[in-house]
C-alpha cells in the first residue's frame, strides 16, 4: 500500500476539523493536530514534552525544532505508517522547509496539500454567529441554526453566550495573522505542484466528496 501524507490548509473557520475527521475515516490516516500532539507529550512527561513545557511556562512559543521533533516521532508510530493528515503545521514557509527536511530524513514525502478556501467575510459571518450553551456546550448559529428562543438553549433552557474567540474583532485579528503568516504557503505549495484547492463555501458533504475523490486520485497516481 502506498502511503498518503497530507497537509490540511485553510483559514480559521474553514471547516478543517470536520474534513479531517472524515478523511481519517476514509483512508485510515493518522490525524496529527499539532496542538493535541503538544498537549499529549506534555501530559505524558516525555523529553520533548518537558522541553516544550519550559517554553509554555515562560509564556513563549514552543520552538519549531521541538514541534518537528514531536512530528518526527509521531509519524513513526504504527497508525501513521500508511499515511498521516497534518493539521496546524506548518504555519509559515520556513516551517514548511523544515518539515520537508524532517520527512526526507525519514524517507518520506508529502502526497498533497489540501486547501479549503473561504473568503474572509463568509468566515466572519460563520464564526461571529455562533452561540454556545453555558451549561452543556450545545452550539447554535443565529442565522444558520438558531434556537427556538433567542439566547436560550433548546436542550436545557440554559443561557447562550458568544465566546470571546467568536467576537468579530477577534476573528478579524486571527484572519489577519493567517493572511500574513500562513497564506504564503499557498504559493509555496502551488509552486511545488502539491496544492489542491476546494471551495469551502459549499455544503460540507460536497466538500468532503470533492476532497475524497481528489485524495483517491492522488493515491492512484502514486501507485502507477
pLDDT given for residue 205 in this prediction: 95
The 8-class DSSP code of residue 109 comes to: -
Nearest to 9 by CA among 87, 111, 109, 98: 87
Q: Name the packing angle between helices 34-44 and 47-57 (round to 10°).
A: 100
The question of whether 148 is a catalytic residue gets the answer: no
pLDDT given for residue 39 in this prediction: 86
Total-model pTM? 0.88
The question of whether 16 is a catalytic residue gets the answer: yes
φ, ψ of residue 130 to 5 degrees: the values are: -75, 140
**Which residue out of 74, 126, 130, 131 is catalytically annotated?**
130
Contacts 24+ apart (CB under 8 A), 66-69: 67/34, 67/38, 68/98, 68/99, 68/102
The question of whether 91 is a catalytic residue gets the answer: yes
| 24 within domain boundaries | yes
**Which residue out of 39, 125, 172, 174 is catalytically annotated?**
174
The question of whether 130 is a catalytic residue gets the answer: yes
| 169 within domain boundaries | no
| 3-state SS, residue 219 | helix
The question of whether 39 is a catalytic residue gets the answer: no
Q: Is there a contact between 178 and 11 (Cβ–Cβ < 8 Å)? A: yes
Residues of the chain with pLDDT under 50: none
Distance CA 185, CA 91 (A): 8
| 124 within domain boundaries | yes
Q: Is there a contact between 161 and 122 (Cβ–Cβ < 8 Å)? A: no
| 142 within domain boundaries | no
| 151 within domain boundaries | no
Write the pLDDT tens digit of every residue in 72-119.
Answer: 889 989 999 889 999 989 999 999 999 999 999 989 999 999 999 999
Domain of 21, in residue numbers = 4-134+179-223
What CATH number should be reported for the domain holding residue 90?
Answer: 3.40.50.300
| 193 within domain boundaries | yes
How many domains would you assign to the chain? 1
| 48 within domain boundaries | yes
Amino acid at each position: 500500500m502506498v502511503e498518503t501524507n497530507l497537509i490540511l490548509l485553510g483559514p480559521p473557520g474553514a471547516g478543517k476539523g470536520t474534513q479531517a475527521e472524515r478523511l481519517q475515516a476514509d483512508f485510515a490516516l493518522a490525524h496529527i493536530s499539532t496542538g493535541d500532539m503538544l498537549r499529549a507529550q506534555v501530559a505524558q512527561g516525555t523529553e520533548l514534552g518537558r522541553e516544550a513545557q519550559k517554553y509554555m511556562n515562560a509564556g513563549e512559543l514552543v520552538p519549531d525544532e521541538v514541534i518537528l521533533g514531536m512530528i518526527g516521532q509521531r509519524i513513526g508510530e504504527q497508525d501513521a505508517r500508511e499515511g498521516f493528515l497534518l493539521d496546524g503545521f506548518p504555519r509559515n514557509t520556513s516551517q514548511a522547509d523544515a518539515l520537508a527536511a524532517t520527512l526526507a530524513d525519514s524517507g518520506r514525502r508529502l502526497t498533497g496539500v489540501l486547501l479549503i478556501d473561504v473568503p474572509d467575510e463568509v468566515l466572519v459571518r460563520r464564526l461571529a454567529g455562533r452561540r454556545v450553551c453555558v451549561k452543556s456546550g450545545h452550539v447554535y448559529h443565529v442565522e444558520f441554526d438558531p434556537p427556538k428562543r433567542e439566547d436560550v438553549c433548546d436542550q436545557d433552557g440554559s443561557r447562550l453566550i458568544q465566546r470571546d474567540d467568536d467576537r468579530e474583532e477577534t476573528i478579524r485579528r486571527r484572519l489577519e495573522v493567517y493572511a500574513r503568516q500562513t497564506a504564503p504557503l499557498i504559493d509555496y505549495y502551488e509552486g511545488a505542484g502539491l496544492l489542491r484547492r476546494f471551495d469551502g463555501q459549499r455544503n460540507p458533504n460536497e466538500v468532503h466528496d470533492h476532497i475524497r475523490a481528489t485524495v483517491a486520485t492522488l493515491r492512484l497516481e502514486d501507485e502507477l
